[in-house]
Amino acid sequence: MKILLVTSYDYPHLGGLSTHMTTLQSGLQARGHEVDTLSFSDVPKWKRDFIARGPSFILNKISLGSGYVWTLERRQDFLKQMLREEKYKAYDIVNAQDVFATRASLAAGLPTVTTVHGYLTYEGISKGSVAEGSKHAEKLMAVERIGYTTTREVITVDTRIKNYVKRETGVDGTMIKNFIDVDSFKPEIEHRREFRDKYGINQDELIFFVPRRLTRKNGVIYPVLSFPPVLEKFPNARIVYAGTGEMFDEIKAKAVELGVSDNVTLLGAVAHKDMIEYFALSDVVLVPSILSAGVEEATSISALEAMGSGVPLIACAVGGLKEIVAHEKDGLLVEEQNVEDLSNAMIYLLGNPQEGSQLAVAARTKIIEEYSHYAAAEKYESIYKRAVSK
């Protein structure tokens, strides 16, 4: 088949959606399909900056959410114009990665399936881009309902999103959990010293790695809040964040306030290819997601990559994280927003490295058996064939 993966967001970018596209493309190509991508990044830069993004700041000052909706609609328009080009008619199927890409593809008259990675409206509310109950939030929800009911097939990345789509639209989608490239994200612990030297991290430090976009729903403030008791027992512990977002300054300020800033590193954006090495140099990975404005973590790709990389994982028991982590079997689950619970788990794994290693081995086995990109690609292929036949 000739398959086109489309998103109205930038690609590649730092984040789970971009990782999903890259990994899915790899899996589908391994099965013999021709796979290409189209994204907002393919729009000329002047259009992106001056038409899609430029007016949004002013519009949001007039009415919170109007600029957010404006930007998404312009992204849709640009994709629609490109998808109407003759060369895109040659594709057997378009797999839209968000609902505005879905609308663009359908408007161009192309056979389309949609992968739903989250809760568009509620995520906009959660990060403060749209006011709850506003006309802009209602418009986004209307876009979701129309998009999910007019696409040929709906795929969701966890059961909660599947239930959300069913509740809001009546559409019974197919759930295919997120997945990772198991050939790339594999245990590289034997290279820990080498990678620490490469990135300037002391060999005797105990590293908690937080591979998260610094946004509220990812709970990224909680490792710092939980850190003082950990440092009392393990003064050589360090938290290393890899990601950017609106919480960057708040995390930095809270670390100073709690007196732990000397042991907290904020790397900013890290290329996905380098994440493999950061997992390997770490002692424990933290995925501290929380429930925020009704938004729950899906099947976290960061958590899957940690589990595939042979590093023990501590995650909060929310959303899809509860589905992928079996507590005390292949990772530790803690109550979301519970500072003491997270502190205790961090202290426990540092004090019991052998048990952490056992959790990591079990996690790697699970990833290979249940979350391989090869197995996921086969499932996507069957849905594409069903959609083409409609």
pLDDT one-digit tens code per residue, 253-277: 999 999 999 999 999 999 888 999 9
The pLDDT of residue 127 is 82
Instruction: Indicate the pLDDT class of residue 62, thresholds 50, 70 and 90.
Output: very high
Closest CA to 240 of 311, 296, 190: 311
d(CA 138, CA 66): 12
Cα angle for residues 144, 304, 222 (degrees, 5° grid):
80
The pLDDT of residue 295 is 66
d(CA 53, CA 71): 6
d(CA 19, CA 285): 18
Q: Which residue ranges form the domains of the chain, and what is each CATH number?
A: 2-179+372-389 (3.40.50.2000), 189-370 (3.40.50.2000)
pLDDT one-digit tens code per residue, 331-355: 999 999 999 999 999 999 999 999 9
As given in the structure block, the two tokens for residue 90 are: 């040659």
User: What is the pLDDT averaged over residues 237-248?
Assistant: 95
pLDDT one-digit tens code per residue, 198-224: 999 999 999 999 999 898 889 999 999
User: What is the pLDDT averaged over residues 21-44?
Assistant: 97
d(CA 192, CA 12): 27
User: What is the pLDDT averaged over residues 1-16?
Assistant: 91
Alpha helices by DSSP H, listed for the chain, are 16-30, 45-47, 56-62, 66-83, 99-107, 120-126, 135-150, 159-169, 192-199, 222-225, 227-233, 248-257, 272-281, 301-308, 321-324, 339-351, 353-370, 373-389
Closest CA to 372 of 24, 3, 12, 115: 24
User: Using an 8 Å Cβ cutoff, are 75 and 45 in contact?
Assistant: no
The pLDDT of residue 138 is 96
Closest CA to 30 of 374, 376, 389: 374
Higher pLDDT, 40 or 273: 40
Mean pLDDT of the chain: 94
Higher pLDDT, 359 or 272: 359
pLDDT one-digit tens code per residue, 65-93: 999 999 999 999 999 999 999 999 999 99
d(CA 216, CA 47): 30
As given in the structure block, the two tokens for residue 216 are: 């509220």
**H/E segment holding residue 94:** strand 93-96
> Helix (H, G, I), strand (E, B), or coil: what is residue 171?
coil
254 half-sphere exposure, CB direction, 13 A CA radius: 15
The pLDDT of residue 333 is 97
Give phi and psi for 102, each to the nearest 5: -60, -50
pLDDT one-digit tens code per residue, 97-108: 999 999 999 999
Query: Omega of the bond prior to 12 within 30 degrees of 0, cis?
Result: yes
2-7/112-116 β-pairing = unpaired
In whole angstroms, what separates CA 381 from the centre of its chain?
22
pLDDT one-digit tens code per residue, 262-315: 999 999 999 888 999 999 999 999 999 998 766 667 678 899 999 999 999 999
Instruction: Indicate the pLDDT class of residue 14, thresholds 50, 70 and 90.
Output: low
d(CA 390, CA 385): 9
The pLDDT of residue 341 is 98
For residue 137, count other CB atoms closer than 10 A to its CB.
21
Cβ neighbours for 61, distance < 8 A, ≥ 6 positions apart: none
Longest Cα–Cα distance in the chain: 64
> Helix (H, G, I), strand (E, B), or coil: what is residue 4?
strand
Q: Taking the model in full, what pTM does it have?
A: 0.77
Closest CA to 216 of 321, 307, 294, 272: 294
pLDDT > 70: what percent of the chain?
98
Burial 352-361 (b: 16+ CB within 10 A, else e): eeeebeebbe
Sign of dihedral through CA atoms 339, 341, 343, 345? negative
pLDDT > 90: what percent of the chain?
85
The pLDDT of residue 319 is 83
By 3-state DSSP, what share of the chain in percent is helix, strand and coil, each rounded to 5? 55, 15, 30
Q: With 90 as the cut, is the pLDDT of residue 250 above it?
A: yes
Sign of dihedral through CA atoms 92, 118, 169, 381? positive
The pLDDT of residue 273 is 87
Q: With 70 as the cut, is the pLDDT of residue 179 above it?
A: yes
Q: Give the range among 37-46, 162-171, 299-308 with minimum mean pLDDT.
A: 299-308
The pLDDT of residue 272 is 86
